[in-house]
Chain A
Amino acid sequence: MNSRPIAPGSALERRRALGSLLGVSPALLAIGLFLLVPILIIAAYSLMQANPYGGVDQVFSSEAYTSLLFERQLDDSLAFTDSYLIIALRSVGIATATTLITLLIGFPVAVWLAMQPIRRRGLLIFLITIPFWANLLIRTYAWILLLRGTGVINNSLLGLGLIQQPLPLLYNDGAVLLGLVYTYAPFVVLPIYATLEKMDMRLLEAAQDLYAGRLRTLRKVVLPIARPGILAGAILTFVPCLGAMIAPELLGGGTKLMLGNLIFRQFSDARNWPFGAALALVLMAAVMLVLMFYAMRTERLRVAREGK
């Protein structure tokens, strides 16, 4: 190793700086190409005029943003409309419910996984990832086969004589919720498991030794230590749920829209690309604001606790 100090501004130092820049350049390139450029395109589209045959006319217009909250009347005046706001609120509601349910299911599973002997854990983690092997669309169609009026569940219950009429299992909010919980449960299990796996299991013994029963041990030791994993799982569920499209479309019957469906329709049936682009940008901005606010708050807490 070369441990001689390098004079600042020397040729060697500049070469090293260049070297490290080259080293990270693939990452910068990927971020630029796959993140920034698409967002810029979306932003540009949102500020153009809709072409009734799809696509955009390259004329500046802020109409897309105006129509988020206002409806243009026949006399060209603007009137407030809450129809999109309601869709947004319903999306937030369903995403919140999905997140809570997946946490309730995922946390115990993650705890159980972390308690298993190391030899068995590999296999169990592998089993949890199996659903990812099949396309989400196909898996969601499979739910239709299970839930519909002549589906597996209803036919079984009818056959057993437990019910006389098929239950309305499909095409409602419950079915959407089920589909979303099913899709995102692994995203909750894995990060929580990752934090618990690193936890020293002797802490549980220490808590019990210090008179804490199971509930208090869970509340005061396991939950705080699993907190980063729980938050990561919640974000990984909540954010994609807000924009989810497949489950509401297929299992919800497309009658009650969520933001994802609304955006999708602007690019398909409605042929209003600028409005779709504006919706997508606003959704992304809202999510980012919430996450940034949260990140700043945890950082402040950490600084208050640990200094630095």
Chain B
Amino acid sequence: MSALHSLQTAAVSIRSVRKVYGDPQTGPVALKHVDLDIRDNEFFTLLGPSGCGKTTLLRMIAGFEFPSAGEILLYGENIADRPPYERPVNTVFQHYALFPHMSIAENLAFGLESHPMGKRLGKTAITQRVSEMLALVQMERFADRRPSQLSGGQQQRVALARALAPHPKVLLLDEPLSALDLKLRQAMREELKSIQAKTGITFIFVTHDQEEALTMSDRIAVLAEGQVQQVGRPSDIYEQPNNRFVADFIGETNFLPAQVETLADDHALLRITGGQLMRAAGREGLHQGAQVTLSIRPERLQLVAPDSPETTPCTLVEQIYLGTDLQYQVSLADGSHLRVRTPNRAGQNQSFVPGQRLGLQFDRESASVLLD
């Protein structure tokens, strides 16, 4: 597929999709109004807290639920009204949903045999595809086992292979790693990413785990309360959050009240409590003198000796040892608390005690202006 083509046609387009359960006027609204374009060959993540509508959206792409309004286009074709078995998309379910009465190989063959194409394919081709898929997830040795004889991680791989076997145009993954333990989860992240690269299939991944989203995705859509809050690359989402929700949900942050001092073409200068000036990317709707909220990440703050130039005086409240990092809580003159985080390096950061007066240094370029 040419680059031009992939620019023109999104793999999946969600157009003005709305989902209301029960009565269209009074029923609970799962999705208010969602517009999204998911590109061809992209690892796209729907990220949000539980109840944000991300799973509903995924289930609508799969065909288990139908939108109350709007269109779902798969490579330009509206599939919103088609049953799941007529959509060339496959799902990796949260709890795997492997068929307990079939062997691993039979599980993998199921989709191929059910597919209209399967009858033309023939037995040998199906067997070959099954071994190909087993090799992809390194489960060749387990072909004749039953799902109940496998560990959670192994079942996960089988579920992935089963969904990939019929060559879906888009693969949907519904929190597939949430049932695994931490180490396995981290290993599977890398593996999922590499399998996506190898197969070239568009992945749509649902998770509530922001770390998972940041490490794996090409792009992320952050959802809350049935609406898309922000769409962007992981670094956009983390460093330029649109609003308070996104800033707070992705990683840790500090909220600082500030006043717009000067507006330039591409940036704004803002004065925060304590008199320091911060520089942030401009936004529509800003005007001189406006009161706004800034988000600034804890790792972009530094604790230095008090009365250093260009610092804000603060008092250390608490110090928390996190292993990889040290986290401090400091209070400013106006009583607000901020979090500061520094990497845990030998011989540093050890000398502070709670109650100590310190200087807080801001990384000037690292604040972002929130819309609300």
Contacts and interface: CB of A to CB of B under 8 A. Distances in A.
B232 interface: no
Contacts of B97: 200, 202-203, 205-206
B62 A209 contact: yes
Interface in A198-250: 200, 202-203, 205-213, 216, 220-221, 224-225, 227
Contacts of A203: 97, 99-100
A209 B90 contact: yes
A210 B101 contact: no
A212 B110 contact: yes
Q: How large is the interface on B (under 10, 10 to 19, 20 to 34, 35 or more residues)?
A: 20 to 34
Interface of A: 200, 202-203, 205-213, 216, 220-221, 224-225, 227, 305-306
A210 B111 contact: yes
B93 A224 contact: no
B64 A205 contact: yes
B112 to A, nearest CB: 9
B300 interface: no
14 contacts: A206-B91, A207-B99, A208-B63, A209-B85, A209-B91, A209-B111, A210-B111, A211-B114, A211-B166, A212-B85, A305-B103, A305-B146, A306-B146, A306-B149
B146 A210 contact: no
Nearest to B149: A306
A208 B84 contact: yes
B56 to A, nearest CB: 14
Given A211-B116, A212-B114, A206 B99 contact: yes
The secondary-structure label for the interface of chain A is helix
Contacts of A213: 83, 85, 114
B193 interface: no
B111 A211 contact: yes
B83 A210 contact: no
Interface of B: 62-64, 83-86, 89-91, 93, 95, 97-101, 103, 110-111, 114-116, 118, 146, 149, 162-163, 166
Contact of A225 (B100, B103, B115): B100
Looking at A200, A205, A209, A221, the one whose CB has the most chain B CB atoms below 10 A away is: A209
Contacts of A211: 85-86, 111, 114-116, 118, 166
Kindly list the 8 A-B residue pairs having the minimum CB-CB distance in the complex, ordered from nearest. Answer: A210-B111, A206-B97, A211-B114, A208-B84, A212-B114, A202-B97, A211-B115, A224-B101
B93 A210 contact: no
Contacts of B84: 205, 208-209
The interface centre, meaning the residue of A206, A208, A213 with most chain B CB atoms within 10 A of its CB, is A206
Contacts of B64: 205, 208-209
Contact of A202 (B89, B95, B111): B95
A40 to B, nearest CB: 42
A148 to B, nearest CB: 48
A248 to B, nearest CB: 38
Contact of B114 (A210, A305, A306): A210
A147 to B, nearest CB: 42
A220 B110 contact: yes
Contacts of A200: 95, 97
Greatest chain A CB density within 10 A among B90, B111, B114 is at B114
A210 B95 contact: no
Contacts of A221: 99
Given A212-B114, A213-B85, A216-B114, 18 more contacts: A200-B97, A202-B93, A202-B95, A206-B97, A207-B110, A208-B64, A209-B62, A209-B111, A210-B110, A210-B163, A211-B111, A211-B114, A211-B166, A213-B83, A220-B110, A224-B101, A305-B103, A306-B149
B159 to A, nearest CB: 9
